[in-house]
A and B are shown apart, each in its own frame.
Chain A
Amino acid sequence: MTNLICITCPIGCALQAELVDGKLSVTGHSCPRGEDFARAELTNPMRTLCSNVRTNNPACPLLPVRTQGEIPKAAMMDVMRLLAGVTVTQPLQCGDVITSLEPICDGNVIATCDFPF
């Protein structure tokens, strides 16, 4: 039995989860998303990573970004290093892709606000 806190929504249910021979048993969840969370947590925990990247515009020197979906928790620091090397130079809209996450993992990093703002 592993004790987990579901981070899918602000309620933060306290889950007890166990994975035996690929069969998941969960208690403590208030909705089905809690089961999905527990499964991922016991196999390959996933997180959304949010941060900033540099821009070449002194009036808005940093642009907030996040991974488009979730990425493996273990890849977070590698993605931070990737982002440290990115500089935005072109106008962007909130949601536009800034960089791909290849070869670290699948997915993209997107802007979370218009640039310039």
Chain B
Amino acid sequence: MSIQTNVAVIGGGPAGLAAAIAAAKQGAQVLLIEREARLGGILKQCVHDGFGVLRFGEKLAGPEYAQRFLNELRQTNIQILTQTFVDKIKPHPLGWKINLVTAQGMRQAFAKAVVFATGCRERTARQIGIHGTRPAGVLTAGSAQFFTNILGQLPGRRCVILGSGDIGMIMARRLTLEGAQVQGVYEARGTPSGLPRNVAQCLHDFNIPLHLRKTVTRCFGYPRLEAVEIASVDEHMQPIAGTEERVDCDALILSVGLIPENELLETLRVPIDPVTRGPVCDQYGMVEPGLFCCGNAAHVNDLVDYVSESGEIAGAAAASYTEQPEQQHAQITAGQGIMYAVPQRIALPAQEIPLYFRVKEELGKSRVVIRVGETVLAKKTYLALRPPEMERIMLDLSQTTLQEGDEITVEVQPL
């Protein structure tokens, strides 16, 4: 039996929950689709606290943050399908035709607008070129988190963590609390890639050493990991011969980055931003007419509060979406010192929009300037800027006349 709806939301993590609730508040009929048995997305396994500081003014645990949205969801009449995987989506006279794989078989849904809130996935050992055997015990930090926090199984007793991303550091603490020994966190770059507060509360608090400019080059042992080879790296991140050392361990946990999960969206051949790895979208998260993207699927966020914000914006826009004649756009480009800026384009006319960006490298006191031609639209001074921390600026465009093709540049100048 097929389902007809105004808005279909794919993914029931914080982005999808916020999008579905916001669309329902606008009076739209909403279908929320999640492949797992439970809503909440990655937050289900993030038992640590630190979520919701901006939104609720409290440090909540991940499941607790999700619970607030689940409670709100109960007050709506959103149709929820769990254990349902979206494997195909196609344009259709009714809007979009969505193929659903369920435990009971295949189903179809038809929606006027679709919101992609499919989150992101972790980079794996193969993507970073570790040589040697392929033993059990090599896993991503997110998988280690799933084993520890959802299944209640310790992934290893002596762990080496490669990469100083937030999830890796959070797992270093978690595994230590659960009685495992964490030999160290190894990072190829010269600075940790996660937040300073996680270096402090996850590593320093537990005397876990952080080794910079070092990487894992080889795995030993079969069928179970027995040791890894660690080497120092040069400025091009290449291992330096003669610096190899062997570290015994039974688990190698990788925290080497996240990539937006957009296989589905890519089948529609929408433009993908080579830096964010998410689709090119406007200030509503709209990728193309009737198709929206939010949360980590759009670009990897470090704060769930911003994920929820992007979900709300996309959900509300999807609810009020109607086909329009050719939409005009201005472009946003990442200028000097900026790694990326999102949204990549602005549908005109525009009002107040949140603009997110990351810098390319660690900076001290600096000023971020947003301008179109010689006209400065906004500027903001920061005491410090770091690539792991996504920044947000509210950009008021209500007083600015922009035209199709205008280029808005975001740049940073050290002071």
B-binding residues in A (CB < 8 A): 4-7, 9-12, 14, 30, 47-52, 54, 61-62, 64-66, 73, 76-77, 80, 94-95, 112-114, 117
Given A7-B200, A54-B152, A64-B47, A113 and B66 touching (CB < 8 A)? yes
Given A7-B200, A48-B59, A50-B48, A113 and B64 touching (CB < 8 A)? yes
A10 and B60: CB pair below 8 A? no
B152 and A73: CB pair below 8 A? no
A62 to chain B, nearest CB (A): 5
- What are 24 A-to-B residue pairs whose CB atoms are below 8 Å? A4-B200, A5-B196, A7-B200, A10-B50, A10-B302, A12-B195, A12-B197, A12-B200, A14-B196, A30-B383, A48-B49, A51-B177, A52-B47, A52-B149, A54-B152, A64-B64, A64-B149, A66-B49, A94-B67, A95-B64, A112-B61, A113-B63, A113-B64, A113-B66
A66 and B197: CB pair below 8 A? no
**Neighbour of B38 across the interface among A4, A80, A117, CB < 8 A:** A117
A50 and B195: CB pair below 8 A? no
Given A52-B149, A61-B152, A112-B47, A47 and B63 touching (CB < 8 A)? no
Chain A residues in 8 Å Cβ range of B48: 50
Q: Complex formed: what's the CA distance from A61 to B177 in Å?
A: 19
Q: Complex formed: what's the CA distance from A114 to B48 in Å?
A: 16
Chain B residues in 8 Å Cβ range of A5: 196-197, 199-200
A50 and B49: CB pair below 8 A? yes
Within 8 A of A (CB), among B42-97: 47-50, 53-54, 59-64, 66-67, 70
Chain B residues in 8 Å Cβ range of A65: 47
B150 within 8 A of A: yes
Chain A residues in 8 Å Cβ range of B63: 64, 94, 112-113
A6 and B197: CB pair below 8 A? yes
6 closest pairs, A vs B, by CB?
A: A113-B63, A112-B61, A12-B196, A12-B197, A5-B200, A112-B64
Chain B residues in 8 Å Cβ range of A6: 197
B326 within 8 A of A: no
Q: Complex formed: what's the CA distance from A2 to B324 in Å?
A: 60
B205 within 8 A of A: yes
Q: Complex formed: what's the CA distance from A61 to B53 in Å?
A: 29
B303 within 8 A of A: yes
Chain B residues in 8 Å Cβ range of A62: 149-152
Chain B residues in 8 Å Cβ range of A4: 200
Q: Complex formed: what's the CA distance from A117 to B66 in Å?
A: 12
Chain A residues in 8 Å Cβ range of B178: 51, 80
Chain B residue, CB-CB nearest to A95: B64
A6 to chain B, nearest CB (A): 7
Q: Complex formed: what's the CA distance from A5 to B70 in Å?
A: 34
B102 within 8 A of A: no
B328 within 8 A of A: no
A87 to chain B, nearest CB (A): 12
Q: Complex formed: what's the CA distance from A9 to B303 in Å?
A: 11
B201 within 8 A of A: yes
Chain A residues in 8 Å Cβ range of B64: 64, 66, 94-95, 112-113
Q: Complex formed: what's the CA distance from A30 to B150 in Å?
A: 37
B206 to chain A, nearest CB (A): 9
Given A80-B177, A94-B64, A73 and B47 touching (CB < 8 A)? no
Chain A residues in 8 Å Cβ range of B67: 94, 112-114
Q: Complex formed: what's the CA distance from A85 to B99 in Å?
A: 46
Chain B residues in 8 Å Cβ range of A11: 389
Given A50-B47, A66-B49, A112 and B60 touching (CB < 8 A)? yes
Q: Complex formed: what's the CA distance from A113 to B50 in Å?
A: 15
Chain A residues in 8 Å Cβ range of B60: 112
Q: Complex formed: what's the CA distance from A30 to B60 in Å?
A: 22
Chain B residues in 8 Å Cβ range of A12: 195-197, 200
Q: Looking at B59, B149, B195, which has the most chain A CB atoms within 10 Å of its CB?
A: B59
Chain B residues in 8 Å Cβ range of A30: 383
Chain B residues in 8 Å Cβ range of A66: 47, 49, 61, 64
Chain B residue, CB-CB nearest to A114: B67
B59 to chain A, nearest CB (A): 7
Chain B residue, CB-CB nearest to A62: B152
A76 and B197: CB pair below 8 A? no
Q: A5-B199, A52-B47 are in contact. List 11 more A-B contacts (CB 8 A).
A: A9-B53, A10-B195, A10-B302, A12-B196, A54-B152, A66-B47, A76-B177, A80-B177, A94-B63, A112-B62, A114-B67
Q: Complex formed: what's the CA distance from A53 to B389 in Å?
A: 32
**Neighbour of A47 across the interface among B151, B195, B201, B303, CB < 8 A:** B201
Chain A residues in 8 Å Cβ range of B302: 10
Within 8 A of A (CB), among B296-343: 302-303
**Neighbour of B303 across the interface among A10, A49, A73, A76, CB < 8 A:** A10
Q: Complex formed: what's the CA distance from A7 to B182 in Å?
A: 22
Q: Complex formed: what's the CA distance from A30 to B152 in Å?
A: 39
